[in-house]
Amino acid sequence: MSFRIAYLPGDGVGPEVSDVARRVMLKTADLFGLRLAFQDFDFGGVAIDRHGDPFPPATKKGCLEADAVLLGAVGGPQWDKGGPRPEAGLLALRKALGVYANLRPTRVMPGKEALSPLRPERAAGVDLLIVRELTGGLYFGERVEEPRYASDNCVYSKEEIERIARVAFEAARGRRKKVTSVDKANILATGRLWRKTVSEMQARDYPDVALDHALVDAMAMKLIEH
């Protein structure tokens, strides 16, 4: 079995870290009898320097044709002086591939608790999965930027909320059957739609999964406390 991987090493430490990841993947593939074919593409700041675009058409085409994308870090102070920004390529890549769910597992391995910035007794046993929505909200809403005025429109549709919630609920079924939905429902209309939609979905499709809600600022504190 073989897979084509679009390789986007990026900027700064990106190429160094990505190269190590690629070598690990190739070694692992050998152990399991797989073939990985990597094809390099410019992305981020280096693509701006070479093509004037953080996500050039050739890179987009390569990503859409590949089985997977390996992406390194992008950006740096040399691109903060106006003009296209490397981070714009990240948003364009997410939109082109429809990658709306960012999965961030956090687990402290037994015996490694002392390496955490938290006290060992706090870090012991930590095992959670953060599911972050990637293609809606502030980053993808209408944007206005003037010399004395700027705005970022935060928009979520019910369908966007349902699909990311489904990822969380399905993942929870294979873990401890518990989801905490994080929003800003006390202030934002989008937060209230988020909370209402997730609650309806749990009651309708996932009664076997426990659900609670937390405000985002309180959740930041709870992650450290508990």
Do residues 156 and 136 lie in contact, with contact meaning Cβ atoms separated by under 8 Å?
A: yes
**From the CB of residue 104, how many other CB atoms can be counted at a distance below 10 Å?**
9
Residue 155 backbone phi and psi in degrees, to 5: -130, 130
Average pLDDT over the chain, rounded to an integer = 96
Q: What pLDDT shows up at residue 151? A: 96
User: Token pair 């993947």 is at which residue?
Assistant: 25
Determine the 3-state secondary structure of 157 from DSSP: coil
Q: What pLDDT shows up at residue 81? A: 85
pLDDT higher than threshold 90 for residue 85: yes
Do residues 150 and 182 lie in contact, with contact meaning Cβ atoms separated by under 8 Å?
A: no
Q: What pLDDT shows up at residue 225? A: 85
Do residues 214 and 179 lie in contact, with contact meaning Cβ atoms separated by under 8 Å?
A: no
pLDDT higher than threshold 90 for residue 62: yes
Q: What is the DSSP-derived secondary structure letter of residue 109? A: P
- Report how far residue 29's alpha carbon sits from residue 33's, in angstroms, rounded to the nearest whole number: 6
pLDDT higher than threshold 90 for residue 58: yes
| Cross-strand partners of 5 | 38, 68
Q: What pLDDT shows up at residue 226? A: 82
Q: What pLDDT shows up at residue 47? A: 97
Question: Residues 169-218: pLDDT tens digits?
Answer: 999 999 999 999 999 999 999 999 999 999 999 999 999 999 999 999 99
- pTM value? 0.87
pLDDT higher than threshold 90 for residue 4: yes
- Report how far residue 39's alpha carbon sits from residue 37's, in angstroms, rounded to the nearest whole number: 7
Confidence of residue 82 (pLDDT cuts 50, 70, 90): confident
Confidence of residue 20 (pLDDT cuts 50, 70, 90): very high
User: Token pair 């206005």 is at which residue?
Assistant: 144
Question: Residues 120-161: pLDDT tens digits?
Answer: 998 999 999 999 999 999 999 999 999 999 999 999 999 999
pLDDT higher than threshold 90 for residue 110: yes
pLDDT higher than threshold 90 for residue 30: yes
Q: What pLDDT shows up at residue 176? A: 96
